Amino acid sequence: MSSFVQPLDVPVPQETLTAIDARPLDLPLSQETLAAINVHLAPLAPQQIIEWAVAHLPGLYQTTAFGLTGLVAIDMLSKLSSPPPPLIFLDTLYHFAETYELVAEVKKRYGRDVHVYKPGGCEDVAAFEAKYGDKPWENSESVYDWAVKVEPAERAYKELNVRAVITGRRASQGSDRANLQPLEVDTTGLLKLNPLFAWSFNDVDAYIKENNVPHNALLDQGYKSVGDWHSTEKSKAGDGGERAGRWAGKEKTECGLHEDYFKMKELVRILHSVAVK
């Protein structure tokens, strides 16, 4: 019997119902199947969305920078009867010390496998800046984003045969995330599951406190969101949005991993080849 609940006002063809119930899902998804899945997932609680994903999505991993929403997902996954998907952490080499301490704490508490990916050919800041120059985030922001996030992610997805990822994005974070759906497909065909897409910051904060979930110590020191140390500031009085303090003074709202930077890959490589000559 189908586990998919068909909304009365949205007729779904039988072949779509069959496709949705496949374990694992047959990829790539058609637009009709994706739309039907989102209709099914939208009213569910995050725990139910996560449970559905573990049962249905092939090649599933969780990508995380250990922000609050990602930590909630990690905790929820730990409570499932089935093994949780492995974690992928993109180490930009410019995280705060507190972030690295949190990674160690999460590994100890939850016993999760964490695949760490750094910029290609760079084990430390010295190697990275020898390759890309001093303060590359100022000199060529697109090259920097590609080098620390997009290329390592692409390499991770290829080496680990990743077909789908769990993200910590939420619609209430605003800007480019305002119209977020539970399940998305990017231009490469990668599935992105956003189980807490409908939660507010207060929902996340309450879960963290009620379940004693570890979190970044900087959040208790005036930071609203934590990224690289060079592009993260303490939030000021009157700053709007929970991601205030990230890329202050810039129009930028995403690091590149959730933008269509894969289409820019060749352009950025050309820019970099010119820059290092």
Q: Is 255 a catalytic residue?
A: yes
For residues 48 and 256, give the distance between their C-alpha atoms in angstroms, rounded to a whole number: 29
Extract the tokens encoding 10: 């949205």
The secondary structure of 132-196 as a DSSP string is: H-SSHHHH-HHHHHIIIIIHHHHHHHHHTT--EEE----GGG-GGGTT--SEEE-TTS-EEE-TT
For residues 37 and 128, give the distance between their C-alpha atoms in angstroms, rounded to a whole number: 42
Q: Identify the CA nearest to 2 among candidates 30, 47, 43, 40.
A: 40
Q: What is the DSSP letter of 232?
A: B
- Full strand arrangement of the beta sheet holding 114-117: 114-117, 87-90, 60-63, 164-166, 191-193, 183-185
Candidate list 60, 190, 255, 257, residue with the active-site label: 255
For residues 122 and 71, give the distance between their C-alpha atoms in angstroms, rounded to a whole number: 27
Catalytic residues: 255
